[in-house]
Amino acid sequence: MFRKCPSLVVGYFRYNCNAKSLSLLRCSRSCSSLEPKQTSNLGACVWCSNTRRSHMAMARQVNVAVVDSLYMNHLNRYYESIFKKSTPNVEVNFRTIPENGDMKEGFSDAEVILMSPHGLKISSEISKTTKWIQWTWAGVEPLMNEKIRRDLEGCIVTRAAGIFGSQMAEYAIGAVIAMERGLPTCYQQQIEKKWERPSGYRNLSTLSIGILGLGDIGLHIAKVCSQLGMTVYGLKKTATQCEHVEKVFTSDQLAELIKLSDYICNVLPSTPETKEIITEQMLETCSHRKSRFINIGRGDVVKEETLIKALKNGWLSGAFLDVFAEEPLKKSSPLWSIENVVVTPHIAGRTYHESTAKLFFHNLEKYLKNEKLDYIVDFDAGY
């Protein structure tokens, strides 16, 4: 029984109904009639001529399992206000998969899954019906497990990207300004009720920054730093020139990049190639510049003991650390109490559900057109 329902999907057809009550039998896939079948004891339902004509186009049905109810409001809002108007011959049926409910049942007929990490607990239940999985994190380390990779075999997997650049750039430039102006020291002095000016600071236009990783996030950081007058160096797989970057280095030139940089900002993902890519010997060369380290990529680019040694020996004169090889950071770690080190709990890039919903529908349009999706996970490369 429906009351004044503005939209009702029956079988593979859409009907608009303003009747006070209406009961419909499901039209089968092979049903040749475009009219709903009504039981004899029901009142009349008025169909407008425009609606009748719209029945002629059979809607493409897409069942989407959403493994996090927090996304539903944004998905529904974007679907109703934008996607449905621009793609009228597609019906997207969302189903929330509760974390503590029957997730297996929710996956059974899902062609597409919007997947957050807790959905991986039953990745083996993903059916052959599933063709595409949109991952809600930028980092894909949880997907690299061999069992998970086998469970996802045959599916296109895309990661959340293109939505974190501005946030990460704000963190990075905020860290640079905070360290140059001595804000961590000022905060400590406030606790001690001590009025003492920190040592003089440098203008950003006199400083250089080496950005490790020139993907979407790295290029956002490069743009902001360049516009504030900093000299920007960057690290990536190939030495092709990038806008806002003075010089691009490859991994075999990392030591040279570090030697040139007043600030080293890591945004690299965690892969076999990037693990412990920053060595003790490289950090020792920072001593002449007293460089500072900002880590908003992944914590395993440098061993924790190596970083601690560089800070205690004065090779690095400070650090803003948002990511660690093991999270949360152990309370016994010396990083908590080293002077001029700021520890933050993995907050540089926050997942905004609205941004993820827009990304999902952008890729869904491409999926429906059989176009290549954005940000496909390369399991061999590890990102």
- Catalytic residue numbers read 298, 327, 346
The CA distance from 192 to 182, in Å, is 15
Nearest CA-CA partner of 283 in 253, 316, 235, 252 = 316
CB 13 within 8 A of CB 59: yes
Residue type, 357: A
**Contact 20/4 with Cβ under 8 angstroms?**
yes
Q: What is the CA radius of gyration of the chain?
A: 27
Q: What is the dihedral of CA 165, 171, 177, 180, to 10 degrees?
A: -120
Judge whether 233 and 247 are in contact, CB under 8 Å: yes
For residue 341, which of 314, 318, 315, 316 has the smallest C-alpha distance? 318
In this structure, the strands spanning 341-343 and 90-96 are unpaired
